[in-house]
Structure 1
Amino acid sequence: MAVTADHTYAARLTAASVAAGTDDGSGPAWFAERWTLDGPEPYAVSLPLDRPEEAASDVLPLSDGRVLIRRRVAGRHTFSLLYPTGPGTGELPLGDLVCAELVLLPPPPDGMSAYALVPGEHTSSVWLVAGGRYGPEHVADVPGRCSGGAWLDRAGRLLALDRRLPGGGPVKAVAVDLGRGEVTPLLQITPDSDDRLLLADPDSGLLLIGSDAPGEDRLGWGVLGSCLPVRFPECLRVPGVTLTPFAVQPGQALMPEGCAVALRVDGASDSWVGIWRPAGRRLHHVAPPAGWLTGSGFWSGEGVLHLPYADGDTPCAVALLPAPADAPYRALTDDPCGAPADAPCRAAAGGTEPSAADSTPPARRPVPLGEAPLTEGSGPG
């Protein structure tokens, strides 16, 4: 399930049996479904057409209540906006792109547009597929094969992608300025490590990072614009499970270490929720509601986790889980770079020594995060 950046709407593809009394054994019929989340209670609106959707189609909600759908049709990727029209569903075609691969990027901060990534072996491209004037519009080219996607600012201009350059080599996250088409390094932990950006919070600058720099794939964190290196907390090193961050508490502009982070925890036979703060040094394991739409959810600014779920008795609901308490937060820094008093402030790899202004929210800019310590070291995490 995808959720708009302002948490007003969500959308998913869902399956239902073929109309009652007409089930011919052909299997489930897929259709788009929109959830309204900003009212007194969440509710779902089905958006079926006169033909079922393919299970491989993708949907993305917009903040005006419409839902973008991407379909694969004979080697083309087509885009349309779906919206309720009384008892039926309206459809506004937006055009198509001819390409072998295409991935919808996460909902952008403005809530009224949608972007797609077209990966290529030598060059990847970013396209505006909803919110433009005349159908899909080319926005930027990025040398190399790209994947992932995370928004770094509230303006929806800075997009982070994970890139492998032509000819091979490690995967490194880069920042793409969609206004200028410029590509700059974002993560450079070690020269040979795969450094991916998994999730970013534009308010605090908190970055959740996956890297094999410590000798194995680990989950770490850093702060955009900070001169501190990436840290790999031991509490996020859990044998036998896979941790995937999916939501960060917003509105914590000056407190990235205090942001609550929700993680999907995948074990051998089940999935559940993990909650962690960089300053807390502890991973809390929480049972999700039955029917949780696994891996989806969002935080309120007050630290309440919203988990959408649907089961046989409840077709549309959201469970509210307050973040578990950690030890009282203790200010760990008095240095303008955010460094503990007894820790050196390292310059970002490939860049210049950051100034105090670089770590303030209005002046935050993407800079490469430098070498990472292979242990927790001092400070939160």
Structure 2
Amino acid sequence: MTACAIETTAEDDDRGGEHPGRAARPTEFTTGLTITANGAYAARLAGDGDALYVERWTLDGPEPYAVPLPLDQPEEPGTQLLPLADGRVLVARRVDGRRNTFSLLYPTGPATGELRLGAVEAPGSEHLVLLPPSPDGICAYALCVGPDTTTLWLVAGGAFGPEQVAEVKGRCAGGVWLDRTGRILALDRRLDDGPVKAVAVDLERGGEVTPLLQITEDSNDRLLLADPDSGLLLIRSDAPSPGHDRLGWGVLGSLLPVRFPECLRLDDAAVTPFAVQPGQVLMPETCAVALRIDAAGGSWVGTWQPMARRMGQLAAPVGWLAGAGLWTAGGVLRLPYATAGAPCGLADVEAPPEPEPEAVATGASTEASAGADAAAGEPRVCRPVPLQQAPLTDGKPAG
């Protein structure tokens, strides 16, 4: 299973059109849910008003269930959470406007245990944000963004509390893991007043930075999601239409162009991918992608495959924790929801059927070396290398 939560701002959103028959439905709960990379646990802030507490969900059993992890003092609305693969929940709190403290919460019988890990200073205009769960399920990382540089901290899983592991020039955001070990991290970086470009950071080489994505020299190119099994990348860029972001897809390590399908562009809605089907080794075109669609009438779900020319749309379950969900390797989309009658639930949605041959778009195939590896029975190792520059043909997006 794989899942990833991406936070976007209004200026980054894709806007989209009228779709008769859509089942837009506002969600009852708006508090986000973060899911571990293996899909076993999740965590969110639950409660009402100022009485907020950490709630851990167990998702890999016969039925999902929630365990409250309250402390003597309620949590602040800005508290950040990250579940670990062992069932503990990392809590990051902002204290006195400059210090960020980190603790691990876990159930201990009727009470909640808390292991304090330490703190990281983020003074002035700097802010600290937790990165998506690491694929190893043990370590947790945070970005501390300053005016000119970004520092990467290991805040859980180390031997001596929080420790700085890398310093990257420029202001970075996002955060997408490119492998299954938690070594290679993609960040969206802006240098000075230049465009945003995705770069790869090697955590085993002291934070060595490698260019990852450049579609045109002046375009803003952000990486939203990546699947290490297939190499599928979901990208947001204004290369096709400067000043207007579009959703596109490519393949890690491929020299073929990034494609910007028209079906992912809606007129009056924002479209954001949040989960990719795992286990599709060397078959990026067949990976199912789940998308969150937000419009004035509410939020609902889109499903899409790179080989398809259209995006399926379906109503979200009542109480969907919008933007959260995960795919199983077998192609089932699991959407978490919470209502007064069902405070912890998962709704399963089957992946869309494969399109008919005449509806198949030409996809980005794997490289010749990948084909040789597959023929030899060895899985391809996806390495971060720049995608093809200037992939637009006659000024028009492919796909």
TM-score (norm 2): 0.85
Asked if structure 2 preserves the Cα contact closer than 8 Å seen for 1:232 and 1:375, the reply is no
1:63 aligns with 2:85: yes
Per mean C-alpha deviation after superposition, the further-off stretch among 320-329 and 48-57 is 320-329
Q: Deviations over 1:281-301 (max 9, x none)?
A: 111011010000000000000
Q: Distance in 2 between matches of 1:319 and 1:9?
A: 16
Asked if structure 2 preserves the Cα contact closer than 8 Å seen for 1:203 and 1:250, the reply is yes
Alignment length (residue pairs): 352
The match for 2:194 is 169
Structure 2 segments unaligned to the other structure (5+ residues): 1-32
1:87 aligns with 2:110: yes
Q: Deviations over 1:98-123 (max 9, x none)?
A: 10300100001001110001112211
TM-score (norm 1): 0.88
Pick from 100, 114, 128: which aligns with 1:77? 100
- Alpha-carbon deviation of 1:362? 3.2
Q: 1:1-381 to 2 correspondence within 5 Å?
A: 1-16=33-48, 27-74=49-96, 75-99=98-122, 100-165=126-191, 167-180=192-205, 181-215=207-241, 216-328=244-356, 337=367, 361-370=379-388, 371-373=390-392, 375=396, 377=398, 381=399
Q: Structure 2: which amino acid aligns with 1:12?
A: R
SS across alignment from 2:318: coil
Q: Deviations over 1:181-227 (max 9, x none)?
A: 21010111000000000111111111000000011210000000111
SS across alignment from 2:285: helix
- Alpha-carbon deviation of 1:312? 1.0
Q: Distance in 2 between matches of 1:36 and 1:162?
A: 31
SS across alignment from 1:362: coil
Asked if structure 2 preserves the Cα contact closer than 8 Å seen for 1:124 and 1:146, the reply is yes
Report which structure shows greater RCO (CA 8 Å, sep ≥6): 2
Q: Deviations over 1:83-111 (max 9, x none)?
A: 00110100000000010300100001001
Q: Structure 1: which amino acid aligns with 2:259?
A: R
Q: Distance in 2 between matches of 1:230 and 1:357?
A: 23
Q: Does the C-alpha gap of structure 1 residues 101 and 109 become closer, same or farther in structure 2, counting only changes over 3 Å? A: same
Q: Structure 1: which amino acid aligns with 2:178?
A: L
Q: Distance in 2 between matches of 1:248 and 1:305?
A: 9
Give the aligned CA root-mean-square deviation in angstroms.
2.0
- Alpha-carbon deviation of 1:355? 8.6
- Alpha-carbon deviation of 1:232? 0.3
Q: Structure 1: which amino acid aligns with 2:342?
A: T
Asked if structure 1 preserves the Cα contact closer than 8 Å seen for 2:307 and 2:362, the reply is no
Asked if structure 2 preserves the Cα contact closer than 8 Å seen for 1:233 and 1:375, the reply is no
Asked if structure 1 preserves the Cα contact closer than 8 Å seen for 2:84 and 2:138, the reply is yes
Structure 1 segments unaligned to the other structure (5+ residues): 17-26, 339-353
Asked if structure 2 preserves the Cα contact closer than 8 Å seen for 1:291 and 1:310, the reply is yes
Q: Distance in 1 between matches of 2:187 and 2:379?
A: 21
- Identity %, equivalent residues: 63
Q: Distance in 2 between matches of 1:312 and 1:364?
A: 44
Q: Distance in 2 between matches of 1:203 and 1:306?
A: 19
Asked if structure 2 preserves the Cα contact closer than 8 Å seen for 1:232 and 1:376, the reply is yes
Q: Distance in 1 between matches of 2:60 and 2:290?
A: 20
Q: Does the C-alpha gap of structure 1 residues 365 and 297 become closer, same or farther in structure 2, counting only changes over 3 Å? A: same
- Alpha-carbon deviation of 1:325? 1.5
SS across alignment from 1:179: helix
SS across alignment from 1:168: coil
